[in-house]
Each structure stands twice: as structure tokens, then as C-alpha cells.
């Protein structure tokens, strides 16, 4: 694809200046319109070394209102980046609705060095474009000869010579090999929802004009679709048959219990082990994510407390998840969770999770059916990425029955220092028990993957539940650490 392109195209329009003047005004207008309509825009710049990415980005942003865009230079990875799952550094920088974020180098570096597969890249991009993002990808091409010429010019100039490294010269020598690789990269990731635009960058005037025309075209298109209320037609998973769905929760044995004596003993042993394992995972730099979901009053808090009691607070964080704030709402729904994923050696314990998308958001109608149906695959992909990056991911569903919940609600209301824990919302949710049951069933079936299966905890007995959770955590940490040794 790239190989067939004539990189030497020139700006031969007689009305070049007029075109550019018009484009500049248009860009400002389109930016305001996108802001108004809440369309997030991501523009990726990749290309050959010295193809002029910096210059092009600078020219492109001049007509934009600085309140609405941001440029990210992603070539260098910092320690914080390297201590997180690979996509973390990109995900947290994704634009909120109405903003334009420009990436100089992007996740395609990860495709280049094998940390991502083409399939992962396509799915990564799809979740955003499905969510309404305009994703524009530019590849800037120059010839081998031109690249050499530019490197020499940079090298000669005292103020820029430090920028030219041996690696750059090597890349020039290996130009043909790089051409092959880039070509393949483009072919593999040129999708209808996020196509590549190749920019012939020998002539700077031609290049900037093509870039701005492309951006303007994409935005006009997106604005038109949004104003018409058109929804992208996307893949929606068929609902499972009722047979397949029912029974996941029905089969849970809620009679399991534990004597207080035995509980105390086992807790002591498990907490000691946990403390030791937590030190080891810190030392070996394993990131751990514990995700707690469950019925209201299902005992999430109590189980979490039994874990944190014995471990060093400098190595864990409890992340309580409530309804998203305004900034979070303006982003892709997974953004706020990516923000909190732990760096290696640390543990993040989520009290409620990204599964809110297919539970409360589904039931309360905060997400459309298309949105929550899409979420199963998006979540599976995300969790697979976390696990493949070396994280331990454990998901718990704290399961109680309706009677037990009623009893616990009553207790909370009768204990003065616990009254604040029970709200009208809890009672309203309770009325939707059957709906939730169906949603939980489907969630467990659809998102129990080999990378991150669900653990359903029989939680009518708090004592039993806490011990089970700790056992599972201890077991998983031991296994993960064994793999490293």
C-alpha cells in the first residue's frame, strides 16, 4: 500500500494560499462544532524518521483554539509507563468528548516491537470509534535520498545536531526494510472505522494541505452524521438463549458456612501468607488487580478489609467506584478504570468495577443496548491485555440471596454507625433483583475468560465468604510468583 505511493507529489495548485487560508478558517469552525456536539477526535502521526511530523503538527494546530486540543509526544517511554500495561500510557491520554488529541508516535510503536498484535490494535481502535471518536491516522513518507538529505541538514545545524542519533543513520541505511515493515503495518491496520492516510511528505506545502484537507473532510463527515443522529452500524452479539443464561447463580450453594473458631484460625494463617506474598509481588514487580462486584450488602467491603489488614498500605490502593464525575463521563467509559490500574508491584482493589456498564448502566438505561452489548468484548479485550502484560486479575461476585439482603439492610438500619451505609437507592435496586439476576448471569457467562474467570463467592455466610476470597487471592499470587521464579 505504502510502497505503491509516489512520494514526490508537489503542491501545484495555483490557488495554494487561498486554499490554505480557507482551510485555516474552516479548521477553527470545525473544532468549535465538534466541541459543541461532543465529538472526540484523535489524530495519529506516524512516519519515516525526519519526515517532518513536528513541522506538520505545528502547522496544523496553529488555527486551532488551544483550549480544545493537546499534543502528546509519545516516542520516549518513562519509567511510569513501563511499569504499567502497555496501552495504559495511551489510554489515559485519550480525548474527552469535544476535544482533539494529537499523538506524535502512538500505539503503533507497540505493534512495531511486538508488544501488540494487529488484531489487538484493531480492537483497541474499534472501541473508541464505536463510541463516536473520529480517529485519523497519518503516515508521512519520504524517499531514502530525501531522508538522508534531511538528516544531514539537521546534523549540520548546531542547534539540531544533537537530535540525529546513530540509530537514525541506521534507519536510513535500512530504509528498504523499514518500508516493508511500515507497509505491512498499514495494510494490517487499515480499517473502515480507522483508515490510514498516507502523506507524501517530500513537499511540505503539499503535505500540510493534504493533512488539513483530510482532517477537515473527516470532521465534516462526522459532524454530518452526528447531526443526523446516525449511529454507526456495529456488531452486536446475539442474546444468549434462556437455557444458556439461567442457572449460573441458581447453582450457587449458599448454605456454606464456617464456625467462628475455625474462621479466626484460618484468617490468621491466610493474612500472614498474604502479607508475605504481597511483599514478594512488590519485590518481583507483579501488578495485581482485584475486582469486586456483588449484591448490595453482599460483603464486598468486609472481604476487602480482611485483605488489606495484613498488607503494607504503600503497596495497595482501594478504588471505590461510584457514578462517574463530569470529566469521567466525558470520556470512554473504560477510561476512568485505566487511570487507576496499578503499576507493577502494586495492588489495586476495585470496590465495584467496569462491569457497572453491563449491570447498573444496562438496567438503568444509562447505556444503550448496543453499548452494553459491545462492552462484553471490550472488557474481555481489556482484561486480556492486562493479564498478558503480566498482571494478576481476579474477579469476585459476592453472592447472597434476597432474604439475606433484607436481613442485612435491616441490621444496617438498626446500628447507628452503619445507618449511613443504607440509602434509598439500595431499596430501589432491591426492587430490580430479578433484572439484575439476569444481567449478572449474562455477564458471568460472557466474561468468564481463560485470562480472567469469575469467582462466584457463596456469601450468605460472611465468614465463609471472606475466607474463600483470601484463599483465592493467596492461591493466585502463589501461582503467579511461581511462574516468575
73 binds a second copy (CB under 8 A): yes
160 binds a second copy (CB under 8 A): yes
Q: Does 401 bind a second copy (CB under 8 A)?
A: no
Interaction of residue 380 with a second copy, rule CB under 8 A = no
User: How far is it, in rounded angstroms, from Cα 431 to Cα 436?
Assistant: 10
User: If we measure between CA atoms, which residue out of 258, 262, 304 comes closest to residue 464?
Assistant: 258
> Which residue intervals of 102-228 are DSSP H helices?
108-112, 118-130, 144-156, 166-173, 175-189, 204-227
Of residues 308, 294, 277, 257, the one with CA closest to residue 455: 294
Selected binder of a second copy within 94, 140, 209, 319 (CB under 8 A):
319
CB of 211 to a second copy, least distance (A): 13
Among 12, 15, 79, 424, binds a second copy (CB under 8 A): 79
Q: DSSP strand E in 20-120: where?
A: 41-47, 69-73, 100-104
**Residue nearer to a second copy on the CB measure, 61 or 445:** 61
343: Cα within 13 Å, side-chain hemisphere: 10
Backbone angles phi, psi at 228, to 5 degrees: -80, -5
Q: Contact with a second copy (CB under 8 A): which of 17, 18, 65, 478?
A: 65
Alpha carbon 36 to chain centroid distance? 25
Please identify which residue in 80, 221, 257, 369 interacts with a second copy, judged by CB under 8 A. 80
279 near a second copy, rule: CB under 8 A: yes
Interaction of residue 92 with a second copy, rule CB under 8 A: no
Is residue 485 at the binding interface for a second copy, with CB under 8 A as the rule?
A: no
Apex CA 164: angle with CA 162 and CA 166, to 5°? 115
The rounded distance, in Å, linking the Cα atoms of 288 and 391 is 6
Tell me if 481 sits within 8 A of 286, measured CB to CB: yes
Q: Does 67 bind a second copy (CB under 8 A)?
A: yes
Interface residue with a second copy, options 194, 219, 311, 347 (CB under 8 A): 311
In whole angstroms, give the CA distance from residue 339 to residue 348.
11
**Least distance between a second copy and beta carbon 216 (Å):** 14
- C-beta of 5 vs 61, nearer to a second copy: 61
Torsion of CA 191, 197, 198, 203, to 10 degrees: 180
Q: CA nearest 448: which of 244, 302, 297?
A: 244
Using the rule CB under 8 A, which residue among 6, 66, 233, 251 binds a second copy? 66
Query: Which member of 276, 363, 445, 472 binds a second copy (CB under 8 A)?
Result: 276
Candidate residues 237, 312, 425, 478; the one interacting with a second copy per rule CB under 8 A? 312
Is residue 280 a contact residue for a second copy (CB under 8 A)? Answer: yes
Residues that bind a second copy (CB under 8 A): 25, 28-29, 32, 54, 57-58, 61-62, 65-67, 70-71, 73, 78-80, 104, 159-160, 162-163, 275-276, 279-280, 283, 304-305, 308-309, 311-314, 317-320, 322, 325-327, 351, 417, 420
Amino acid at each position: 500500500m505504502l510502497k505503491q505511493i509516489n512520494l514526490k507529489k508537489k503542491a501545484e495548485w495555483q490557488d495554494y494560499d487561498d486554499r490554505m487560508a480557507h482551510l485555516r478558517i474552516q479548521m477553527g469552525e470545525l473544532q468549535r462544532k465538534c466541541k459543541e456536539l461532543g465529538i472526540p477526535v484523535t489524530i495519529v502521526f506516524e512516519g519515516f524518521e525526519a519526515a517532518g511530523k513536528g513541522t506538520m503538527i505545528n502547522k496544523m494546530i496553529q488555527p486551532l483554539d488551544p483550549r480544545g486540543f493537546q499534543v502528546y509526544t509519545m516516542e520516549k517511554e518513562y519509567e511510569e509507563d513501563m511499569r504499567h500495561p502497555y496501552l495504559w500510557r495511551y489510554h489515559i491520554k485519550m480525548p474527552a468528548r469535544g476535544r482533539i488529541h494529537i499523538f506524535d508516535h502512538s500505539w503503533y510503536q507497540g505493534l512495531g516491537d511486538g508488544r501488540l498484535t494487529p488484531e489487538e490494535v484493531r480492537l483497541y481502535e474499534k472501541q473508541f470509534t464505536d463510541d463516536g471518536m473520529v480517529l485519523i491516522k497519518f503516515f508521512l513518507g519520504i524517499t531514502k535520498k530525501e531522508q538522508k538529505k534531511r538528516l544531514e541538514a539537521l546534523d549540520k545545524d548546531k542547534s539540531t545536531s544533537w537530535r540525529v542519533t546513530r540509530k537514525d543513520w541506521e534507519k536510513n541505511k535500512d530504509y528498504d526494510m523499514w518500508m516493508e515493515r511500515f507497509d505491512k503495518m498499514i495494510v494490517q491496520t487499515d480499517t473502515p472505522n480507522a483508515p490510514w492516510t498516507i502523506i507524501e511528505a517530500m513537499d511540505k506545502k503539499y503535505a500540510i494541505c493534504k493533512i488539513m484537507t483530510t482532517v477537515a473532510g473527516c470532521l465534516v463527515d462526522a459532524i454530518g452524521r452526528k447531526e443526523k443522529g446516525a449511529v454507526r452500524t456495529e456488531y452486536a452479539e446475539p442474546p444468549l438463549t434462556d437455557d444458556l443464561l439461567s442457572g449460573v447463580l441458581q447453582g450457587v450453594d449458599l448454605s456454606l458456612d464456617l464456625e467462628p473458631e475455625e474462621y479466626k484460625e484460618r484468617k490468621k494463617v491466610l493474612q500472614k501468607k498474604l502479607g508475605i506474598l504481597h511483599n514478594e509481588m512488590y519485590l518481583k514487580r507483579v501488578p495485581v488487580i482485584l475486582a469486586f462486584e456483588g449484591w448490595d450488602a453482599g460483603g464486598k467491603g468486609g472481604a476487602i478489609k480482611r485483605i488489606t489488614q495484613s498488607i503494607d498500605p504503600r503497596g495497595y490502593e482501594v478504588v471505590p467506584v461510584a457514578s462517574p464525575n463530569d470529566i469521567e463521563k466525558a470520556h470512554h467509559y473504560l477510561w476512568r478504570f485505566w487511570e487507576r490500574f496499578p503499576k507493577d508491584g502494586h495492588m489495586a482493589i476495585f470496590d465495584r468495577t467496569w462491569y457497572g456498564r453491563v449491570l447498573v448502566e444496562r438496567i438503568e438505561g444509562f447505556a444503550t443496548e448496543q453499548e452494553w452489548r459491545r462492552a462484553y468484548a471490550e472488557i474481555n479485550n481489556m482484561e486480556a491485555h492486562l493479564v498478558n502484560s503480566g498482571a494478576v486479575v481476579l474477579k469476585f461476585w459476592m453472592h447472597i440471596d434476597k432474604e439475606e439482603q433484607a436481613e442485612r439492610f435491616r441490621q444496617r438500619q438498626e446500628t447507628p454507625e452503619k445507618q449511613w451505609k443504607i440509602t434509598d437507592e439500595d431499596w430501589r435496586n432491591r426492587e430490580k433483583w430479578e433484572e439484575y439476576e439476569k444481567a449478572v448471569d449474562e455477564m458471568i457467562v460472557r466474561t468468564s475468560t481463560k485470562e480472567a474467570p469469575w469467582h462466584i463467592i457463596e456469601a450468605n455466610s460472611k465468614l465463609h465468604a471472606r475466607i474463600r476470597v483470601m484463599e483465592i487471592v493467596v492461591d493466585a499470587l502463589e501461582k503467579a510468583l511461581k511462574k516468575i521464579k
